[in-house]
Structure 1
Amino acid sequence: MSNILILTHPAFGILSVLAAVWLLVETMNANGLNQARITKAAYGVTIFMLLAWIFGGVWYVEYYPAEKAMILNGPWAFAHSFYMEVKEHLFFIPLILALYLPVVVTRNRLHANRTARIMVVAICVNIIILSLSIEVAGAVINQGSKVSFVQKDSLGDKQ
């Protein structure tokens, strides 16, 4: 089960980023004909972000404590002490922004409301940048875990 969670969490995160890019492009080219696609993309960002949050949360509560101990005792302790700490606090921002997107999109016809268009573009850019930063932090944490397990294995062979 942990293998599924560790794969679905970042996969849904990236799908959320891709949906945000889609929404960004549709919003920058908003017209009366693409409002349905804009709405679908906004809901896609929200759904994928929520799924990434749920799968990541389950993994974090169920499986990360043992891995955290390994990382903190390994050569890449900074992978948890810095990157996971940043990730733990940063993920709320794109989550809240993703939850807000459908509200902005469904309450406004973006092709007729320049201010709402600018708001959606700003939200998408923030989601994209923050989510990709979180993905990079996750990669560093993953590497910190791998390095810790390799060190444990090599020390175990010498004993």
Structure 2
Amino acid sequence: MSGEFILLLHPAFGILALLAAVWVFVESLNTGDIHYGRIRNMSLVVAVLMWLTYLIGGYWYVVFYGGDKAVIKAGPWPFAHSFFMETKEHVFFMLLLLATFLPIITGSDLIKQVAGRKVVQWTAAMIIVLALLMEGAGAVISMGVKVGLFTAA
């Protein structure tokens, strides 16, 4: 599998996980047996997609990122690595834990109580915000590579 294809899969799975988290949040605003099933299913989708994002991104980072890292550090935007990539590497674990926690809390009868739904809503909201931050950080890192390549040419 080529590095470019892997690099496309990583944010694609991340965005799909983000959309699934939005779905969970919106579904949890309603109550009813039909909603509970969809909430449980989509929370599992969030977790699976987030783990795929992590595994694919981790593979790409280990195998392919070394060259891009050198370009970023030598270019005009070294902060794209020193701040954004370093932050992304550490904050993502919180996102992964929240995504793993989501199907656990939606799989219990706790979701049928108001307090349980609030936990689901807050967890989904934190996933949404962190996923948006991760996507933004990825965009800055990508731009760091581009401006580094443009100035090297």
TM-score under structure 1 length normalisation: 0.93
Matched, 1:91 2:60: no
Provide the rounded CA distance (Å) in 2 between the counterparts of 1:30 and 1:100.
21
CA RMSD of aligned residues (A): 0.9
Provide the rounded CA distance (Å) in 1 between the counterparts of 2:123 and 2:67.
35
Aligned residue pair count: 152
**Which is higher, the Rg of structure 1 or of structure 2?**
1
Report if the CA contact (8 A) 1:35-1:109 is conserved: no
Give the equivalent residue in structure 2 for 1:144. Answer: 144
Provide the rounded CA distance (Å) in 2 between the counterparts of 1:93 and 1:29.
27
Give the equivalent residue in structure 2 for 1:51. Answer: 52
Q: Which AA in structure 1 matches 2:35?
A: N
TM-score under structure 2 length normalisation: 0.96
Q: Percent same amino acid at aligned positions?
A: 43
Matched, 1:113 2:100: no
Give the equivalent residue in structure 2 for 1:132. Answer: 132
Q: Which AA in structure 2 matches 1:150?
A: F
Provide the rounded CA distance (Å) in 1 between the counterparts of 2:149 and 2:113.
54
Give the unaligned 5+ runs of structure 2.
Answer: none
Give the equivalent residue in structure 1 for 2:3. Answer: 2
Provide the rounded CA distance (Å) in 2 between the counterparts of 1:29 and 1:149.
49
Give the equivalent residue in structure 2 for 1:71. Answer: 72
Provide the rounded CA distance (Å) in 2 between the counterparts of 1:55 and 1:30.
35
Provide the rounded CA distance (Å) in 2 between the counterparts of 1:100 and 1:83.
25
- Moved segments of 4+, more than 2 Å: none
